[in-house]
Amino acid sequence: MSASHSVFGRYLIDSASNPPPYDVFKNNLEILEPGSAGLAQAFTFGDTYLFGANVVNAFRLTANRIAGGKQPSAYDAAGLGPGDIGIKGFFYLPHRPMQAQITGGLNISSKTLSSLGSNATGSTRAAIFSGSDDLSVLRGNHQLTLGAQMSLWWTNSYSNQYATLQDTFTGQAIGLGMADFLTGNVANYQIGTASGQNKKNQYFGLYGGDTWKLNQKLTLSYGLRWEPYFPIVHLDTGVYHFDPVALAKGIKSTRFNTTPPGILFSGDPGFPGLSGMHTKWANFSPRLGLAWDVNGDGRTSVRASGGMFYDFPATTYMQGFANGPPFTPRLTRTGVNLTTPWATEPGGDPFPLNYGKGLGPNDAIWPLYSPLLTTDYDTPNMRVTQFNLSLQKQVGTAWLLSASYIGNATSHLWTIKYTNPAVYIPGNCSAGQFGLTTAGACSTTSNTNQRRLLSLANPATGQYFGSIQTIDAGGTANYNGLLLSVQRRVARGVTFSGNYTWSHCISDPGGQTKAFTSGVEGYPNPYNRRFDRGNCTIAATDRRQVFNFSAVADTPRFSNSVLRAVASGWKVSPIFKILSGDYLTIANSQDRALNGSGQQRADQILPNPYGNKTVSNYLNPLAFGQSSLGTLGNMGPGNILGPGIWQLDTAISRAFQFRETQKLEIRVEMFNITNSFRMKDPDPNFGSGTFGQVTSALDPRIMQFALKYVF
């Protein structure tokens, strides 16, 4: 715009489409496999203005939108839905085939035979709008900065997972699972409604800082950021709070007439709006750093810094609220026949039902032993304190050596705690005790709900509560690492850098991407979070040793014209890395503790848990065993080391100059250039047929080519 004023704008659009296999091949075996489609758009606008030589202001606006989701196939054309094959009842999706789990037979859910509900379809729409302004002022030996940022975003997502009929056939009627399936004798019949998530959130941050050059050798940097935490706003009204004090006093919600005591919803006295949590206004983040030029010649420096930072969950995190009762009702019946599943139901078929934010005061359905998700009103958001110290030394004119300590400490790490676990009761009981239909062991997986804390304390009210998952913000974590690096600047056409990291990450349980009400998340000992403290396992964050080497080499300019035309100007860029293995948890799919929790672990019964570390025998299955009933496994989390990996990648490129303003660039990139076999982690699921075996590998050699014309 002028010498002191510039603006820019950018717009990007990207789309993808993968049609459902059935729509392409018309094969009924692929009827449940979904397709996917998406469209992403991004817009950026920037304005930079110079108020004189020492004052710069930068203003930015961004807008991003994503529209996508999983698409159903044209399953109505196949005629395989519950309404097509003669099942009497109302179905929101009458032409969508049911999903079935058959003991001794196939699981009818997708062509990949995955678990029930894994191929639900639905759309997602997300939009985020942000604005920021940053002002920089130079005054003497100070550089002052001041800025603010504000963001608003919305996420709307929909799923038909629970509106799909899901049946289990165990053979309880005839003796064989397939026989029950063919005759329509269902052991477990579950159907519900679709679910919708409508969330919004916002962010605001204000900061100020100063970089102060005290003298020729020492520079100090300090600042403060204020970023209050605004909890997720549930526009779908699907948020509630479980209050054990209200349960004990028999206090019920004023919003619904049919929900049990102890459950409070938005609109009830004291409930924080549509968030379910209070805003945290006092989130201040100080930062401090220094740089010391030891000798004043710019060849040796010491740097140190520390700062505090806040984080917050994504808008999709708390899906468990709207996915559970009463907003997404799911009804389960046992021992029915597919022909007339509601034959013995008082009043007949209860569907259709009101659901979502359209629920009226008398519409809420609350099945017995419903799973819940809850959080405290004053739950804080996660905070990370980071700190580092580094020494840098220039050797000669081309070498730079560096040694750094890097650390952080996390507090208020969110995880899931079971607050209504089942109590293990040893010995045998008579029929009628703790929900038993026949005499036998007092504790089994079939009477988990009757043994829960609330059921034992008061069966009349406790019967309404199954697994209660509470967001626990008390977790902590820490990371400490030593980073050594060497860098060689360009000399004789070659530059390279290498680094080695020796580190350790340890954490309480946490890191769930979403909080559901299905009972599959959470630490297994509800009375001791530290029982699950161990090596970090989320996203392979605890790799103790990491080595990286990269280089760029230019071929020389040959004097011979033919050689110069053929061999000069090429760039070769190898990248080589070696990583030690990450850490695995030996998971036990059985509820051996009989407390209703997931994520339980096996016993280690031999000192050495490893086999010969080959594909078929990485772990020794004989080194593990089931824990005794009523107990948790003796293994800690994340204490099995997986295989290390290495990889060599290379890029080769050259630019051919035609005219002063035109050139042609070619580039070849090769990943895993040696085409080596690199194992992934072994199967850590104890009891699996492939437990301890490596069933997959990293990519083979991949090559890609690029051609670029610049004019």
DSSP result, 550-585: EEEEEPP--SSHHHHHHHTT-EEEEEEEEE---EE-
pLDDT at 324 over 90: no
pLDDT at 540 over 80: no
Mean pLDDT of 570-594: 93
Q: Do 203 and 263 contact (CB within 8 A), yes or no?
A: no
pLDDT of residue 491: 78
Cis peptide leading into residue 609 (ω within 30°):
no
- Identity of residue 568: S
Which has the closest alpha carbon to 185: 327, 380, 21, 340? 340
In whole angstroms, how far apart are CA 474 and each of 13, 470, 477, 507, 523? 41, 11, 10, 12, 13
DSSP result, 89-152: S--SSTTSPPEEEETTS-EETBTT---TTTT--EEEEEEEEEEEEEEEEEETTEEEEEEEEEEE
Instruction: Write the pLDDT tens digit of every residue in 364-399.
Output: 999 899 999 999 999 999 999 999 999 999 999 889
Note every long-range contact of 4-9, with CB atoms under 8 Å and residues 24 or more positions apart, other chains counting: 4/49, 4/50, 4/51, 5/47, 5/48, 5/49, 5/50, 6/47, 6/48, 7/45, 7/46, 7/47, 7/48, 8/44, 8/45, 8/46, 9/43, 9/44, 9/45, 9/46
Rounded CA-CA distance 288/142 in Å is: 15
Which has the closest alpha carbon to 416: 597, 684, 195, 197? 597
Note every long-range contact of 687-691, with CB atoms under 8 Å and residues 24 or more positions apart, other chains counting: 687/588, 687/589, 687/590, 688/589, 691/619, 691/621, 691/624
Helix, strand, or coil (residue 206): strand
Dihedral over Cα of 367, 368, 372, 374: its sign: positive
Mean pLDDT of 630-652: 95
Q: For 102-116, 422-436, 492-506, 576-590, which range has the lowest pLDDT when averaged over its residues?
A: 102-116
Instruction: Write the pLDDT tens digit of every residue in 94-150.
Output: 998 888 899 988 777 654 433 444 578 899 999 999 999 999 999 999 999 999 999
User: What phi and psi, each to the nearest 5 degrees, are found at residue 342?
Assistant: -105, 25
Dihedral over Cα of 339, 345, 346, 352: its sign: negative
pLDDT of residue 574: 96
Confidence of residue 343 (pLDDT cuts 50, 70, 90): very high
Q: Do 189 and 334 contact (CB within 8 A), yes or no?
A: yes
Dihedral over Cα of 85, 89, 93, 98: its sign: negative
Q: Which two tokens stand for residue 394?
A: 């220039």
Cβ density class 74-97: b for 16+ within 10 Å, e for less: ebeebebbbbbeebebebbbebbb
Confidence of residue 253 (pLDDT cuts 50, 70, 90): very high
Which has the closest alpha carbon to 163: 212, 132, 196, 185? 196
The rounded mean pLDDT for the chain is 92
pLDDT at 256 over 80: yes
Which has the closest alpha carbon to 417: 379, 458, 384? 379
Share of residues in the chain with pLDDT > 70 (%): 98
Mean pLDDT of 157-170: 92
Mean pLDDT of 473-483: 96
Helix, strand, or coil (residue 548): strand
Share of residues in the chain with pLDDT > 90 (%): 78
pLDDT of residue 112: 43
pLDDT of residue 493: 83
Q: Which two tokens stand for residue 393?
A: 């030394």
Confidence of residue 521 (pLDDT cuts 50, 70, 90): low
Rounded CA-CA distance 598/421 in Å is: 11
Q: Which two tokens stand for residue 330?
A: 């799911």
Helix, strand, or coil (residue 223): strand
pLDDT at 618 over 70: yes
- Residue 675 region, left (φ>0) first, then alpha (ψ -120 to 50), else beta? left
In whole angstroms, how far apart are CA 622 and each of 523, 602, 619, 636, 691? 26, 12, 9, 18, 11
Q: Do 240 and 265 contact (CB within 8 A), yes or no?
A: yes
pLDDT of residue 561: 82
Cβ contacts of 490 within 8 Å, gap of 6 or more: 398
Q: Do 644 and 581 contact (CB within 8 A), yes or no?
A: yes
Rounded CA-CA distance 244/252 in Å is: 12
Rounded CA-CA distance 165/81 in Å is: 9
In whole angstroms, how far apart are CA 673 and each of 121, 318, 581, 653, 707? 39, 43, 21, 16, 20
In whole angstroms, how far apart are CA 476 and each of 486, 527, 636? 33, 16, 17
Domain regions of the chain by residue span? 1-73, 581-711
Instruction: Write the pLDDT tens digit of every residue in 543-562.
Output: 999 999 999 999 888 888 88
Q: Which two tokens stand for residue 161?
A: 């997972």
Task: Note the maximum CA span of the chain.
Answer: 98
- Residue 171 region, left (φ>0) first, then alpha (ψ -120 to 50), else beta? left
pLDDT at 625 over 50: yes
Confidence of residue 71 (pLDDT cuts 50, 70, 90): confident
Rounded CA-CA distance 122/106 in Å is: 25
Rounded CA-CA distance 624/606 in Å is: 7
